[in-house]
């Protein structure tokens, strides 16, 4: 893992943007994307750039079960709001939270990932060490699967909903095995609330109790932290 510590999220997001641009100058054609507050400044920079993404395919990590693309809390909506309304891509893939047959949807998404190997995967990290919606205890061998969200993740995400009760109980997430197949990974983390998870991810044992710890075994992962998120690193 390469660790980059910067003073704040704006500087860190700019670093991530530069890494992305560098990657896209090579043969990279498939970008893995995350939602949540962490990548917002990166997406803003992408949206305001002159870059042409029309040959790039995107594959998002996850979507809430039961939320459709027009629901402002859905990840489809989030991506449209922060990036897709400003930039055209070759194709944008997200799990379908309204799929009538969930098992079929999980298989469809695995096929999407198999057909479009991810060159650069953008990640945030949850306070409990989750990546995507792979909560503690998720198998390192997992592919796309249906997840019951932990209470702490629903607490953390309640800020985007009227209240915690409104946060869906379930989601579809790309699995840890699939994330690990990405050629390059850029994980960003901002703020003191992430400091413990970041320390476990980098210095802790590789254990399914901290899903992000598997990234210690990934050959090309760059972790970009602000000083608050890096505070518990020795």
List of residues contacting ligand F6R (CB under 6 A): 34-38, 61-62, 124-126, 130-132
Residue 201 to residues 125, 136, 153, 204, Cα–Cα distance (Å): 9, 12, 17, 6
Catalytic residue selected from 130, 134, 208, 226: 130
Which 3 state secondary structure label does DSSP give 89?
A: coil
CB of 161 to ligand F6R, least distance (A): 13
CB of 50 to ligand F6R, least distance (A): 26
Catalytic residue selected from 60, 128, 134, 157: 128
- Residue whose beta carbon is closest to ligand F6R: 124
128 is catalytic: yes
Nearest CB to ligand F6R, comparing residues 10 and 52 = 10
CB of 185 to ligand F6R, least distance (A): 12
* 147 alpha-carbon distance from chain centroid: 15
The answer to whether 122 and 36 have CB atoms below 8 angstroms apart is no
Catalytic residue selected from 45, 60, 62, 208: 62
CB of 205 to ligand F6R, least distance (A): 21
101 is catalytic: no
* Residues 6 or more apart whose Cβ sits within 8 Å of residue 170: 64, 65, 66, 146, 147, 148, 149
Phi, psi of 12 (to 5 degrees): -65, -40
135 is catalytic: yes
Total length of the chain: 234
Nearest CB to ligand F6R, comparing residues 87 and 194 = 194
Distance of alpha carbon 172 from alpha carbon 222, whole angstroms: 25
130 is catalytic: yes
Nearest CB to ligand F6R, comparing residues 29 and 154 = 154
Nearest by Cα to 18 from 54, 46, 37: 46
The set of catalytic residues is 62, 128, 130, 135
């Amino acid at each position: 893992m390469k660790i980059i510590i910067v003073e704040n999220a704006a500087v860190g997001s700019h670093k991530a943007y530069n890494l992305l641009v560098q990657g896209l100058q090579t043969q990279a054609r498939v970008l893995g994307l995350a939602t949540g507050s962490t990548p917002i400044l990166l997406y803003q920079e992408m949206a305001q750039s002159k870059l042409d993404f029309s040959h790039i395919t995107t594959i998002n990590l996850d979507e809430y079960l039961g939320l459709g693309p027009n629901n402002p809390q859905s990840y489809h909506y989030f991506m449209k709001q922060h990036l897709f309304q400003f930039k055209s891509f070759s194709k944008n893939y997200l799990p379908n939270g309204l799929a009538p047959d969930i098992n079929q949807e999980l298989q469809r998404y695995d096929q999407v990932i198999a057909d479009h190997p991810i060159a650069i995967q953008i990640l945030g990290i949850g306070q409990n060490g989750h990546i995507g919606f792979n909560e503690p205890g998720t198998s390192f061998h997992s592919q796309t699967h249906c997840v019951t969200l932990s209470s702490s993740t629903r607490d953390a995400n309640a800020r985007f909903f009227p209240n915690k009760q409104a946060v869906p109980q379930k989601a579809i997430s790309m699995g840890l095995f699939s994330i690990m197949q990405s050629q390059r990974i850029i994980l960003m983390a901002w703020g003191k609330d992430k400091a413990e998870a970041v320390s476990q991810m980098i210095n802790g044992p590789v254990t399914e109790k901290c899903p992000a710890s598997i990234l210690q075994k990934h050959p090309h992962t760059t972790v970009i932290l602000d000083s608050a998120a890096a505070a518990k690193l020795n």
